[in-house]
Amino acid sequence: MYLKDAVTELSSEFKEVGEPITDDSTSLHKFSYKLEYLLQFDQKEKASLLGHKKDYWDYFCACLAKVKGANDGIRFVKSISELRTSLGRGRAFIRYSLVHQRLADTLQQCFMNTKVTSDWYYARSPFLKPKLSSDIVGQLYELTEVQFDLASRGYDLDAAWPTFARRTLATSSSAYMWKPPSRSSSMSSLLSNYLQTQDMASSLDLSSQVNNEALEGFDEMRLELEQLEVREKQLQQRLEQLERENGELRAARGIQELQGKLQLVEGENAAMRASLLRLRSVEDELAAARAQASMRTSSQEPPRVQDEAQGPDAEEEQLRRANGELRRELQSMAGRNQLLEGKLQALQADYQTLQQREAAIQGSLASLEAEQASIRHLGDQMEASLLAVRKAKEAMKAQVAEKEAALQSKEQECDRLRQEALKWRQLAESRDGERKALEHQCQQQSQLIETLSSQKGPEELPRGDSVQLAVLSQAQLEVHQGEARRLQAEVGDLHAKLRVALGERDKAQSQLTVTEATLQEHKALVQQLKEQNEALNRAHVQELLHCSEAQGDRQEEQAAVALQAELLRVACGSEDAQLAHVELQEQLRRANTDTAELGIQVCALTAEKERVEGALACTAQELQDCKEAAARTRASLESQVVGLQQENESLQEQLKRAEEAAGSLAGLQVQLAQAEQQAQSLQEAAHQERDALKFQLSTEIMDYQSQLKTANEEGESLRAQLDERGQQLQAAREAVDELKALQATLEEKLSCTSSRLAECQACALQKEQEAAALREQLDRTQKELTKASAKIQEYYTKLCQEVTDRERNDQKLLADLDDLNRTKKYLEERLIELLRDKDALWQKSDALEFQQKLSAEERCVGDAEATHCHDCRREFGWMVRRHHCRICGRAFCYYCCNNYVLAKPGGKKERCCRACFHKCSDGPGSPGSASSGASQGEASPAPSPARTRPPAIEGPGAAADCRSPDDAVFDIITDEELCQIQESGSSLPETPTETESPEPSVAPQDLPSGSLTPDDSKAEPGGQDAEICLLKSGELM
């Protein structure tokens, strides 16, 4: 085929490389050009109201605009404002279908809409040929396993197909670019979404990991729903086809009933023919008898008797005429039989076609049953796997619950042990306190005893009292010592118990750690099992999708093979029928017209049939009456013939007697006159009887002719055939022998047709049984279809609920993103303004500091070499460090320069000498500052480095503070550095360069809070310039 090579190249390239196909692939270029050629081949030229040419994009819109699930690509392509022409939109839709692996399904849905396809393409298009279109769709189904990584925007699809790959975002966000917009989104929101794609890249990377599983599940459910909808449509089409075939079977049954009635009519016709044959035989016998009688009478009687005998000949002629009319009717009935035989043959051909259709229906029903069995088997497997997974989940949940319960019991036991240990500790501490108190009392007693023994006052206590006192003190001491030993023993016991409790606590802690570790392992195992379950579910869903697709392909192939076989059989049958029935085409056409008229005028035909049946009953009754009358006339004629024979015999005897008695002429004449009178009377009676019979026969014939005329008037459609048969009857009058042969052949054909009709009736009964079985199968399939539709409705409701939830979440996310973007833009603008203000303040502060430094250098050039404090004249050294006043710049010791004052409005407090402090505090409008003791810890908090920058150089003496004590010389700024400072000040975002000492070594206690080193002051402007550049380029935040 035309697309087969390109499809095989794409699939082989994907299998070899193992990566998605991009726009760099030449196989993709070849496939795109071939598919576009097929879509544009033999397409009708159409234009819009404005004169723009329509292309296959408009064909896609006409086929898929109202199909649920398939119009996502249409909505997405319409949201792209870059595309201007119908050709570009069609190419974008094809790329969308390739990315979402839905190209085959989309084209199949378009080809199924034959009305729109025939409206858009001429007859030569392969899309209007079922075989070619099915081949194209089958080849495109091979691309469902191939992944494509194609950019949604960035190409001029109106001009040509892309020839190179372009990626604006990361690969993780490329799939998001192909997502169709929601139904609630407008064109302005789509445009804003497209403009915000680069700002949303980082947030999409974070949110895509969270929503990947939900998106995959949603896509899988949507694909499954689309497949179920397609399957439902196919089943509905199959059901409509079965209903049509059922209607045809009902029509065939009606035709069979008509055939039965026709057979009854033919039986009646056969009975009428038999009666007519019997009448003919009777007439022949009568004619022979009359001929013999006439010959006898002519030879023996005089001419008058011969004249009288010619009357029955006229009656015989009349009877012959009636027989001729009856023969004509018989021939007309034979013509009708031939017509009915032609109709019967046509009906047999229709019956054969219906049998073939029934076989095809049975094959399709068998395939449907096999498919249903496979679907049930797959459903059982899915249910078994789901039950196993649920059981595993329940078991893991039970294990986790047991572990958690064990962990809670261990934690409770640990808490109890901790409380017991705390109680024992408190008890031990209280016992230690008691022991210490007792020891302290013992010491006091011993000291008291020593003091009592050492004191020898003038009053000199008696020896007995001192002895008693010593005994008492000794007893108390022993008691206290025993109490102390007891307390020590209790303390030792408590320590032992405490050690045991601590050991138990350690054991419980170790067990707790072990249980926590096992719990973590179980949680990890549960998470792993959940992931495996989700992976198994996804794999199972994919397998189901693949199986359903494979089954659909197999069923389509089987259906295509069955249709091809049926087409071949039908073609062979049609050729045979054409070869066999070339001579009967006119009769077939007439039969078709008759059947069409019968189908259109069923009610009228039923009424006519009833009337004809009544007429046939009347004619049958009349024929029966005619038979009876003919029998009566035959009997009377036979009796008359017998009487005439007897009279002839008597006359012959009388003639003999007359000859014998020739002499007695007068007597004989008298007898002759009497005989003549008797013969005349007999002739008159015979004439009267003959006239009565003629009148009765004429009246019956006229009635029968009138009935035949009415029947002919009622059967207007058969008049032409009756005329033709009349001509044939005229020819048949000339050849009676041929008519007899034709009658024999007709009888044989009637017997054959009767046997065939019996066989057809048996087949009809069998077909009725098969039709009943088919109806039962159809009822079962309808029930299963209702069940499947109910399941589809449930899935659809669930999917709609998920879609609404998803849309709600998307709307919330979009609203949050819009809020974040607005706040981000506002903060960016505010930050840029603050950075610009900060930069201007930096430049101003640096210029002021530089001027202060220059003025300080001009005023105090020799202060850098000062070795004594300007106020207290204390010599500087290792113990007394040098501090510079931030206002006057002179060198002071710590005690003389321990004052702080606000040197700048809105700035922080600066170190200054006493004179400058009094000057600033006494000056008008100066802010109040604290003394050295009160203001030492009240330094203003340092501002955030991201918002404001503290001055890098506090004054002319700041460089001296940042030096070691050996550095007593200020750095000298050269003219080159001054020029660099001026140039950097003239540039917009740059900060003037600061030349400071490269050895900052200031003690942390001497620096004020919030101050920065010169290195930090040098490093910050560069970072801020980078921030400004990033904000300007839109890459920050």
Tokens of 830: 């505010």
pLDDT of residue 963: 39
Distance CA 966, CA 1001 (A): 11
| 860 in Cβ contact with 888 (< 8 Å) | yes
Calculate ∠ Cα 680-684-685, nearest 5°.
Answer: 120
Query: Could you give the residue ranges of the DSSP H alpha helices within 661-735?
Result: 665-714, 719-734
Distance CA 646, CA 678 (A): 14
% of residues, the chain, pLDDT over 70: 68
CA distances from 890 to 142, 263, 853 (A): 90, 143, 12
Distance CA 719, CA 712 (A): 7
Indicate the average pLDDT of the chain: 72
Residue 954 pLDDT level (bands cut at 50, 70, 90): very low
* Lowest-pLDDT range of 439-448, 887-896, 941-950: 941-950
* Lowest-pLDDT range of 682-686, 750-754, 923-927, 975-979: 923-927
Distance CA 850, CA 843 (A): 10
- Per residue in 155-206, pLDDT (tens digit) is 888 888 888 886 544 343 344 345 544 433 333 333 344 444 444 444 444 4
Q: Does domain 362-455+462-538 have CATH number 3.30.1380?
A: no
Element housing 770 (H / E): helix 736-859
Tokens of 233: 């449509």
Backbone angles phi, psi at 21, to 5 degrees: -75, 130
Q: What is the DSSP letter of 128?
A: G
pLDDT of residue 575: 66
Closest among 924, 940, 920 to 1008, alpha carbons compared: 940
Contacts by 541-545 with C-beta closer than 8 Å and gap 24+?
541/220, 541/224, 542/220, 544/224, 544/378, 544/382, 545/220, 545/223, 545/224, 545/227
Residue 1010 pLDDT level (bands cut at 50, 70, 90): very low
Residue 827 pLDDT level (bands cut at 50, 70, 90): very high
CA distances from 405 to 33, 229, 508, 511 (A): 67, 49, 15, 14
Q: Specify the 3-state DSSP secondary structure of 1026.
A: helix
Distance CA 814, CA 819 (A): 8
pLDDT of residue 57: 92
Backbone angles phi, psi at 911, to 5 degrees: -75, 135
Listing DSSP states for 153-220 in one string gives SSS-TTT----S---SS-HHHHHHHTPPPPTT--HHHHHHHHHTTTTTHHHHHHHHHHHHHHHHHHHH
pLDDT of residue 731: 67
Residue scoring higher pLDDT (61 or 376): 61
- Per residue in 929-949, pLDDT (tens digit) is 333 333 333 333 333 333 333
Residues comprising the chain, all counted: 1037
Per domain, the residue ranges of the chain are 4-198, 362-455+462-538, 860-1033
Q: Does domain 4-198 have CATH number 3.40.50.20?
A: no
Tokens of 939: 């330094």
Tokens of 368: 């449907």
Closest among 999, 690, 732, 996 to 846, alpha carbons compared: 996
SS3 content of the chain, % helix, strand, coil (to 5): 75, 0, 20
In single-letter form, the type of residue at position 297 comes to T
pLDDT of residue 1012: 37
**pLDDT, mean of residues 299-317:** 58
- Per residue in 24-65, pLDDT (tens digit) is 888 899 999 999 998 988 888 888 888 788 899 999 999 987
Tokens of 239: 């059901």
Place of tokens 């022991």: 435
Residue 1036 pLDDT level (bands cut at 50, 70, 90): very low
Position 298 pLDDT exceeds 70: no
Distance CA 794, CA 788 (A): 10
Position 595 pLDDT exceeds 80: no
Backbone angles phi, psi at 989, to 5 degrees: -90, -10
Residue scoring higher pLDDT (763 or 280): 763
| 688 in Cβ contact with 640 (< 8 Å) | no
- Per residue in 90-126, pLDDT (tens digit) is 999 999 999 998 899 999 989 998 899 999 999 889 8
CA distances from 317 to 622, 705, 782, 807 (A): 21, 18, 72, 102
Beta-carbon contacts of 501 under 8 Å, excluding residues fewer than 6 positions away, are 417, 420, 421, 424
Count how many Cα atoms sit within 13 Å of the Cα of residue 297 in the half-sphere of its side chain: 21
Distance CA 74, CA 76 (A): 5
The winner for highest mean pLDDT among 129-133, 211-215, 393-397, 591-595 is 129-133
Element housing 270 (H / E): helix 201-300
Q: How far apart are the first and last CA of the chain?
A: 54
Distance CA 305, CA 682 (A): 12
| 923 in Cβ contact with 917 (< 8 Å) | no
- Residues paired with residue 700 on neighbouring β-strands, in sequence order: none
Distance of CA 686 to the CA centre of its chain: 99
pLDDT of residue 968: 37
Distance CA 556, CA 367 (A): 10
Question: How many other CB atoms are found less than 10 A from the CB of residue 520?
Answer: 10
Distance CA 410, CA 399 (A): 16
Beta-carbon contacts of 565 under 8 Å, excluding residues fewer than 6 positions away, are none
- Per residue in 841-882, pLDDT (tens digit) is 988 888 887 877 776 665 554 555 678 898 898 888 888 888
Distance CA 392, CA 404 (A): 18
- Residues paired with residue 21 on neighbouring β-strands, in sequence order: 148
| 144 in Cβ contact with 101 (< 8 Å) | yes
Distance CA 889, CA 956 (A): 6
Position 23 pLDDT exceeds 70: yes
**pLDDT, mean of residues 262-277:** 76
Closest among 872, 1033, 1010 to 949, alpha carbons compared: 1010
Distance CA 712, CA 722 (A): 9
Structural Rg of the chain based on CA atoms: 63
Place of tokens 């934690």: 411
Query: Could you give the residue ranges of the DSSP H alpha helices within 581-664?
Result: 585-600, 602-660
Tokens of 435: 């022991």
Let me know if the fold of 4-198 is the same as that of 362-455+462-538. no
Position 285 pLDDT exceeds 90: no
Beta-carbon contacts of 90 under 8 Å, excluding residues fewer than 6 positions away, are 36, 39, 55, 56, 57, 60
Distance CA 249, CA 252 (A): 5
pLDDT of residue 120: 92
Closest among 626, 593, 793 to 703, alpha carbons compared: 626
Q: Does domain 860-1033 have CATH number 3.30.499.10?
A: no
**pLDDT, mean of residues 583-606:** 62
In single-letter form, the type of residue at position 17 comes to V
| 508 in Cβ contact with 413 (< 8 Å) | yes
Closest among 1031, 576, 554, 519 to 824, alpha carbons compared: 1031
- Residues paired with residue 891 on neighbouring β-strands, in sequence order: 884
Note the pTM of the prediction, 2 decimals.
0.26
